[in-house]
Structure 1
C-alpha cells in the first residue's frame, strides 16, 4: 500500500508548479534569466549547504536535446534522483523531501518564497548526494545550461553534450546556434568537455564557447562503441551515445586519479567492463517493444523532428507483416509544431490514429500528474484536425486515457495491430504504467499495477 507520507510529498511537490505560475503574476517575481542562479544560491544558504560542500561533489554535467536519462520521469518522480543507477526508495524520497521542504518553508520571507518544481528537485538531489556521500554525481540539466538551476556548480570534472536539436525554443531560442550557446553554458574552466557529432552551426558555437570558457572540447565519434548485439535502439543511437559515455567515463577516472589524495587509491578504466555496463543499461521509454494480446507496442518518447524521423524508421523496420494493421498513439505538449511532427509520421501509413492526454486511467484520482488534462484534450482536438487535413484513410479517435484506447484496440482480437506510441515522454509513461508498471524492476516498491 502506498504510504500516506509519499502521497503527501508528491502532492506538495506538484503544488510548487502552480506556486511558480502564481509568482509570475506577483510583485515578487523579477523575470530575468540569471534569477535561477541567484535563487539557487539563496536556497542553498537556507538549507545550510555551502558552496564548498557542493564543490566536494565529483560531477559529470550533461546537457543535450536527445540521449538524456532522468528527466522527465515516466512513472514516479523518484526516478529523477538515483543512487547506484536505481531510483531512491519511497522512504528515502520522503525523508529527504520533508527535510528540504520543511527547512525552506520555515525560512521563507513571503508566501511565495519557495523554489519551483525542477529547482526544488535539484536542491533535493544535492541534499541527497551530499548526505549519502556519493562517489560520483551525474547531473543532468533541466533546460539549456547557461541559466539552468543545475549550473550553480562551479567545478565539474567533465561536461558532456548529447545530440542537439530544436526543442524548448520558447526558452532557448529558435536556432541551433542559440540552443548550442545556452547548452554550452555548462562549460567551466579546467573541466574537460565531450560532444557527439553535432550539426555544423551548433558545433561551431560549442567550439567558440570552449575557447571562451577555457574548457577543452573533444568530439567523440561512434567508432568507439560498435558492439550492438541484441540492441533494442537503432544502431546509430547506441554507437553515438555509447561512444560518448565511454569517453566521459574514462576522462572522469583519469581526472579523479589526479585529485584524490587517498593512497593507495588508483583507479583504472576497464574498457571491457564499461562496454558491458552500456550493454546492460536500461533506457525505459526509448525504443521499447511490448507484446499484449493482439497488439505489439513500439514505444519511443520522440518529440523533435530528427528524433521522430529515426523513430518512424525504427518502427517501419519492425512493422513488416502485411496482415497486421498499424496504429499510432500520439500526444505533444509545450510549444511544438505539431503539424510538422505529425507529417513526419505519414510514411508509416497508419490504419488507426489515436490522440490522448498523458493519462493512464481517467476513472481514478490522478497521481503524480503535472500537466493540465483539459489543455491536453484541447491539444488532442487540434491534432485530430491536423490529421484530417492530411486526407489519409486512417480511422481517427480521441480517448481520455490509455485504458480507454486499449479497450478499443483489443475489442476485436482478430485484428492484429502494430502500435507506435510516440511524442511526449509523459505519454510513454502513461502507457508503461499498464505495459510495464515496474520499469523492468527498476521501481521495486511501486503501486501502479493497472489492468482491464
Structure 2
C-alpha cells in the first residue's frame, strides 16, 4: 500500500508547475477531456464501458460530498451495490474510492493501483503520466468496473465542463448542488460564470436536478440544459416531503444539509425509476405516478438510510482524553458564517513526509510561502465574519510552532512533526 501511495504522490504537480498551468488554464482546460479519454483507453477501458456503471454525476460548489454520501446510503440500503468517488480525502487516499459505503481495502487499492499505473507507465511518452486527480478518476472507473457495481456516484473535482470526471457519455441522472464563489482563477469570478462550468456535466437524454439557485445562476443552468436537450428540475423544499417517521435525524447534522437531502432524494429516486425498480422500493409507485422534481412520501428504509449516513469530517465530534474536537469544513465565506466555533486555528498543510503521518496526507502542490499566505487569508476572512457579530477568536499557526488556545490544542504545522495527540486525532477520524 505504501508503495502505491508513494507512486501516487509522484503524480502531484509541484508549485512551479501549477503556476504554469494556471497561466495556460484556458488552453489546457479544453484539452483535458480528450486527454482523459486517451488515458482511459490506455488503461484498456473503452469510453462506452463507463455507461455500464449507471453513473449519477454531481457538480456544485457546496454540498457535493454530502449529497453524494446521502445518495449512496439510500441506494445501498435499497439493496444496490454502490461505488462512490469523491475528493479530497481526509486521511487515506483510498477514502476517495468506496464500495458499498466503505473505502476500498489497502490490498484492493494496491492491486488496482498498480494494474492501472503499470499500463499507463508502459505507454508513457514525454512524461505524460496523468496528474494526481485524473489518475484517481481513471482508477475509480477501473475499480467500479472490476467490482461490478450497480451504480457509481461520481463527484466532480472542480467545475464540471472540463473536469476529468466529465467523460461519462450517458449518466443516468445529474445533480447540481448550491453554488458560490470559489476557484475563481479557473471558473470565473461571478455566479453565472461558475454556473456555466457546473452545468457542463449535463448530457442529452439524462435528466438533471438542481438545488434552488439565485435567478442569474439558474438562468445559465437552464440555458445550458435547453441547448443540450436536458430535462431540468429544481429540487423541492425539504419541508414538502412526507416522511415515514415524524422526525428525521440526519446522519450528517445541520439545517444546511436539508437542501442536500432533498437533492439526494430526487437523484436517488430518479435513478431507481430510470432503472425500472421504482415499484419494488416505493410502495405507492403504482398508484401515484411520480415525476422528477416533485416531493414524495419517503418510506422508512430510505429514512433510515438518511439517518445512518456518515461523512467523516462533516459535523463530526471526536472525543479524546479530556478534549472534544468538532470537525467540519468550509471553503467559502458564506459557509464559514454557519460555523459556530468560538476559536479557530489556521494551520498550513503538511508539505513534507513525516514518520508520524501517513504519506496520504502530504501535499506537494504548494510551497511553504503559499501555505502561509493561505492561512493568513483564511484568518482574515474569519476575523471579518466574527467582528461585531460573534466575537470569534482566531490565530494563525506559524511555521514550526504549536499553538494552545483556551480550549483546543491543535496540531503543529509543516516544519515539525505533529504531536502524538494530534496524530491520534487524525487517525481516529476514520
TM superposition score normalised by structure 2: 0.76
In structure 2, the partner of 1:8 is: 3
Offset of 1:292 from its aligned partner?
4.0
C-alpha contact (below 8 Å) 1:33/1:147 kept by paired residues: yes
**Offset from partner CA, 1:182-230 (integer Å, 9 cap, x none):** 0101111111111111122111111111111111111112223776644
1:215 aligns to 2:215 (yes or no): no
In structure 1, the partner of 2:349 is: 358
1:275 aligns to 2:303 (yes or no): yes
Alignment equivalent of 2:95, drawn from 53, 65, 79: 79
Q: Take 2:43 and 2:322, find their aligned partners in 1: how far apart are those partners?
A: 53
Q: Take 2:18 and 2:268, find their aligned partners in 1: how far apart are those partners?
A: 40
Offset of 1:162 from its aligned partner?
1.2
C-alpha contact (below 8 Å) 1:54/1:126 kept by paired residues: yes
C-alpha contact (below 8 Å) 2:318/2:429 kept by paired residues: no
Q: Take 2:178 and 2:397, find their aligned partners in 1: how far apart are those partners?
A: 33
Alignment equivalent of 2:330, drawn from 298, 302, 308: 302
Q: How many residues align?
A: 373
Superposed, 1:52-451 pairs within 5 Å as: 52-69=48-65, 70-110=86-126, 112-220=127-235, 221-223=237-239, 224=241, 229-231=248-250, 235-257=254-276, 267-269=280-282, 271-312=299-340, 315=341, 326-330=342-346, 356-359=347-350, 364=355, 367-368=359-360, 369-370=362-363, 371-372=365-366, 374=368, 375-380=370-375, 396=395, 398-400=397-399, 404-405=402-403, 408-409=404-405, 417=407, 434-435=424-425, 437-440=427-430
In structure 2, the partner of 1:341 is: none
**Offset from partner CA, 1:109-162 (integer Å, 9 cap, x none):** 22x111111111111111111111110010111111111111111100100111
Q: Take 1:115 and 1:109, find their aligned partners in 2: how far apart are those partners?
A: 11
Q: Take 1:75 and 1:197, find their aligned partners in 2: how far apart are those partners?
A: 32
Offset of 1:373 from its aligned partner?
5.9
Closer/same/farther in 2, CA of residues 388 and 39 from structure 1, 3 Å limit = closer
Structure number with greater CO (CA < 8 Å, separation at least 6) is 2
C-alpha contact (below 8 Å) 2:344/2:394 kept by paired residues: no
Q: Structure 1 stretches of 5 or more lacking a match?
A: 1-5, 259-264, 316-325, 331-355, 410-414, 422-429, 441-452
What is the root-mean-square deviation in Å for CA atoms of aligned residues? 3.5
Alignment equivalent of 1:35, drawn from 31, 38, 48: 31
C-alpha contact (below 8 Å) 1:142/1:148 kept by paired residues: yes
Offset of 1:311 from its aligned partner?
1.7
**Offset from partner CA, 1:300-338 (integer Å, 9 cap, x none):** 1101122111124xx4xxxxxxxxxx42122xxxxxxxx
C-alpha contact (below 8 Å) 2:176/2:211 kept by paired residues: yes
Offset of 1:53 from its aligned partner?
1.3
In structure 1, the partner of 2:83 is: none
Closer/same/farther in 2, CA of residues 165 and 419 from structure 1, 3 Å limit = farther
> Counterpart of 2:338 in 1: which secondary structure?
helix
> Counterpart of 1:164 in 2: which secondary structure?
coil
C-alpha contact (below 8 Å) 1:359/1:400 kept by paired residues: no
C-alpha contact (below 8 Å) 1:360/1:433 kept by paired residues: no
Offset of 1:383 from its aligned partner?
6.1
Offset of 1:294 from its aligned partner?
4.9
Offset of 1:179 from its aligned partner?
0.7
Closer/same/farther in 2, CA of residues 396 and 128 from structure 1, 3 Å limit = closer
Q: Take 2:421 and 2:201, find their aligned partners in 1: how far apart are those partners?
A: 34
> Counterpart of 2:335 in 1: which secondary structure?
helix
Offset of 1:269 from its aligned partner?
3.7
C-alpha contact (below 8 Å) 1:96/1:127 kept by paired residues: yes
Closer/same/farther in 2, CA of residues 294 and 131 from structure 1, 3 Å limit = closer
Closer/same/farther in 2, CA of residues 397 and 198 from structure 1, 3 Å limit = closer
Closer/same/farther in 2, CA of residues 38 and 291 from structure 1, 3 Å limit = same
C-alpha contact (below 8 Å) 2:55/2:173 kept by paired residues: yes
Closer/same/farther in 2, CA of residues 92 and 305 from structure 1, 3 Å limit = same
Closer/same/farther in 2, CA of residues 432 and 285 from structure 1, 3 Å limit = farther
C-alpha contact (below 8 Å) 1:41/1:152 kept by paired residues: yes
Closer/same/farther in 2, CA of residues 32 and 237 from structure 1, 3 Å limit = same
> Counterpart of 1:296 in 2: which secondary structure?
strand
Offset of 1:362 from its aligned partner?
8.8
Q: Take 1:205 and 1:239, find their aligned partners in 2: how far apart are those partners?
A: 24
Q: Take 1:180 and 1:309, find their aligned partners in 2: how far apart are those partners?
A: 22
Closer/same/farther in 2, CA of residues 393 and 306 from structure 1, 3 Å limit = closer
Offset of 1:372 from its aligned partner?
3.7
C-alpha contact (below 8 Å) 2:315/2:327 kept by paired residues: yes
